[in-house]
Structure 1
């Protein structure tokens, strides 16, 4: 397939792009490089532009014909979104709208959309199935839900993938998680273990969980990328949760980082962050049934080991 990958210079986008090219697909990356990295694109053609500029994305479709679009490009930090609502709504909504309009104008009929479990907010039921009520508690989650709604009104077949917590790196250490600022638990904990940061800030140890810390569903980024490749084969529109189907607490994750690195972490307990639910993990029954998908690398030790390898090579 000839594919356009928006945000293909970012963490999940670049790894998905690499696996797509290895699978024989013909890809082009469109990215504004505000948070992505030129070197992560490898040999794939990179078009530097911004989705908030309709003429720029229209020009891409005027010069190329695509079988499908995989739309990763977005601002994606829940905490930051609460401090910068204008930036998040402007970037994520206008970017999504312009992309859909360009697809309509140029008769591109298929989109795979990178959504998030943050659309569920504080879920009433865990594990979380696709039928769970939509009730985001962050600007980020709200913006992703709004793009989901936009997609419904455009003449496209869509597979909307609601991610849980993407983590880990390419097993060969070539591509990994490189955010600025970095807020995700595994890379921050690894930075502390490697002496690049003094302490790990643990936000809340008084949740209604066995050890008092938040529980999350961590999915290896390679497994996540594999689901996108499978989604391209779907004939109809779908909404699918992508997670492993079990959760690990923050304390459990930190223990695994200590085990894998052989280093004791200095941990400072801080107050809870607003908008952090106690427990989130996926019901991935639909992903397995519809996509024929099965996570292969998403045990927490493999995730941490792959992330550590990337950090040792690249930082």
Structure 2
């Protein structure tokens, strides 16, 4: 297949989330890739990652890729390293429809390593990126916690920008990838960045003015405008999207202007919040591919992320979940 010109190339970790009662394929780039394949088309999605096809985790990842008909051309098989695994400890009171971080009160993640996704080789990924010429290039910080993949991620993001792709950074600060220099290097290679309220607070503390560290990311978005503008100017960002769990979301454009804000969509039956932030990214990118307005794209992303909180794990077990969202995308595109 490998023909995604005008589509999305995603780079980073593939792994297995180990819950107390089951194991499911996960990893932020993989979660976004699967949603995109279901919402738009597998032919518009290319995932660049690495796994060991001989171990149980690798076989679980491959089975999920095949369920969504994702192209395996971007998978590097690395028998020297095990496939990625993450132990998920679910805490009482999980209720925020956003990514849960370590010690967040919702879930605690233990990331096992070294893993195959920490050793993504540059040359084959560069060749695929040059050949496929995506419209959007997605990357995060976790895959940069080891030096081999860090070099690859940074070089590929620079290549994508040179090819005129929009570089979308889902910051996803996690243990081993939460250093200020790593965040700065990632932000400097991004056009759009998505952060949670906790991540924005951390960015203000690392890179903001003295007064910015006192700001509450859950305050009215207009109160954050100046501090966001300072971040955007420092790193050359075109847009910052802030997801705030129960407080909703906001998007900031040039000059820290609040482009859009909205309340959290209702979650009728909360099951868990794992992968909700990834769902938000997936729908935002799907709607962008369909050339919808930012208002349409963010509203759909907000609703889609909330709907995923009613499902177990980062991706629904049943394909029927996606049908109304494909219809919603088509309806918004027509209007």
- Tell me the TM-score normalized by structure 1: 0.42
* Higher normalized contact order (CA 8 Å, seq sep 6+, divided by chain length): 1
Structure ranking higher in helix proportion: 2
- Tell me the TM-score normalized by structure 2: 0.40
